[in-house]
Chain A
């Protein structure tokens, strides 16, 4: 083995040792009391964020994309399973060339999500939740428990928004939470759409375990 190869091997071992170090180290003592004492003299400062109208424009784009993507995945999943989902047209939605509805979404004057978007989300969620019944019990329990945490967060942020309408941080946090929920449901839909095939090959059921 040449010196270059030896050095490369040593470098790899060093990198592996560095990456194996635990990311966290417990402080030898509790640092919280010292922090807590300083918080009283350090109030949370006001937000310096873009004006609400700018955020609303961004939110509309993100949620239209999120909604149509989810709908597309929903329909694709059903085609794969050999049957179409019965998704009723949503009032105010704009059907695209492929029949996929897109929903405008923004924060209303009370700091709430656009009612049409909320209705679309509720309908999509309802369809996807009915499919969760196809999942193994343990997987379903885990999924429901985790989704409950996302919805608790959305409820609490909505409650905070009701008290502070238009607060940009709260609006961003709510958007992120809804986006996460939709992403999770879309992935679950993809999983459940393959369950019919999984019955034909029982080994695939393992793929459904979260």
Chain B
């Protein structure tokens, strides 16, 4: 027997999905105003994903814009088995990977990204803003492969199978990258000692 709270959550999810379907239908019909509303609803999550995956503000802005343009272009192919936000995230991850391939990001660019990410984080991002900033900066300083997996699995909550599919890597590689990312993060935050070979 479901509890009222559970039904309420289900109802809220259904209402939200219905509201988004109305916007998708209008956008497919050519309404940029409806698509702007979809942007307003999802911009923060898409940008957050891009910023953490790239570690670079300007690149994250580019990828966010690319993702929404791609979504607009492919709206008629929207996969309705998932929520619009899930579909959009997949496009955003692709935008980040395409950008990385195009630019062949250099180590120097990543170094400057660390400072940039730490500077743009909101003060209220966690109960302990200082620690959250340290954590974000440490994430930004990770090697790209480890960072991508950590963001998708550790922050966004994707399974290894989902993350591996999104990133185009083997599940084993995904697990190894997460292990590496956690070890590096723990060491950089002073929580653990870095083990030989992880760096």
Q: A residues touching B (Cβ–Cβ < 8 Å)?
A: 6-7, 10-11, 13-15, 17-29, 31-32, 34-36, 38-39, 42-49, 139, 142-143, 146, 149-150, 152-154, 156-157, 160, 169-170, 172-173, 176-177, 180-181, 183-184, 187-188, 190-191, 194, 206-210
B39 within 8 A of A: yes
B 124-140 to A, binary, CB cutoff 8 A, 1 in contact else 0: 01110001100110000
**Which of A25, A150, A160, A180 neighbours the largest number of chain B CB atoms within 10 Å of its CB?**
A25
> Do the beta carbons of B25 and A156 come within 8 Å of each other?
yes
> Do the beta carbons of A31 and B185 come within 8 Å of each other?
no
Known interface pairs A27-B43, A47-B76, A176-B17; A209-B5 also in contact (CB < 8 Å): yes
> Which residues of the partner chain A approach B126 to less than 8 Å between Cβ atoms?
20-22
> Do the beta carbons of B32 and A36 come within 8 Å of each other?
yes
Which one, B24, B65, B132, contacts A34 given CB within 8 A? B65
Known interface pairs A36-B36, A43-B73, A152-B18; A210-B1 also in contact (CB < 8 Å): no
Known interface pairs A27-B43, A45-B74; A177-B18 also in contact (CB < 8 Å): yes
The 5 closest A-B pairs by CB, nearest first: A24-B44, A210-B8, A153-B18, A25-B48, A47-B76
CA distance A160 to B192 in the complex (A): 58
> Which residues of the partner chain B approach A153 to less than 8 Å between Cβ atoms?
18-19, 21-22, 25
> Which residues of the partner chain A approach B69 to less than 8 Å between Cβ atoms?
35, 38-39, 42
Measured CB to CB, the nearest residue on chain A to B72 is A39
Size bracket, chain B contacts: 35 or more
> Do the beta carbons of A172 and B186 come within 8 Å of each other?
no
Known interface pairs A21-B155, A169-B76; A27-B64 also in contact (CB < 8 Å): yes
> Do the beta carbons of B14 and A139 come within 8 Å of each other?
no
Known interface pairs A153-B21, A156-B25; A210-B76 also in contact (CB < 8 Å): no
> Which residues of the partner chain B approach A187 to less than 8 Å between Cβ atoms?
2, 6-7, 10
> Which residues of the partner chain B approach A42 to less than 8 Å between Cβ atoms?
69, 72-73
Q: B residues touching A (Cβ–Cβ < 8 Å)?
A: 1-8, 10-12, 14-15, 17-19, 21-22, 24-30, 32, 35-36, 39-40, 43-45, 47-48, 51-52, 57, 60-61, 64-65, 68-69, 72-78, 80, 120-122, 125-127, 131-132, 135-136, 150, 154-157, 182, 185-186, 189, 191-192
> Which residues of the partner chain B approach A20 to less than 8 Å between Cβ atoms?
126-127, 132
> Do the beta carbons of B120 and A28 come within 8 Å of each other?
yes
> Which residues of the partner chain A approach B57 to less than 8 Å between Cβ atoms?
28
CA distance A18 to B142 in the complex (A): 14
| Distance in Å: Cβ of B89 to nearest Cβ of chain A | 10
| Distance in Å: Cβ of B20 to nearest Cβ of chain A | 9
> Do the beta carbons of B80 and A26 come within 8 Å of each other?
no
CA distance A36 to B184 in the complex (A): 40
Give 21 A-B contacts (CB < 8 Å), ordered by A residue.
A7-B192, A10-B191, A11-B192, A19-B157, A21-B126, A24-B44, A26-B122, A32-B40, A32-B43, A38-B65, A45-B77, A139-B4, A146-B12, A150-B15, A156-B26, A177-B18, A180-B17, A180-B18, A187-B2, A208-B4, A210-B5
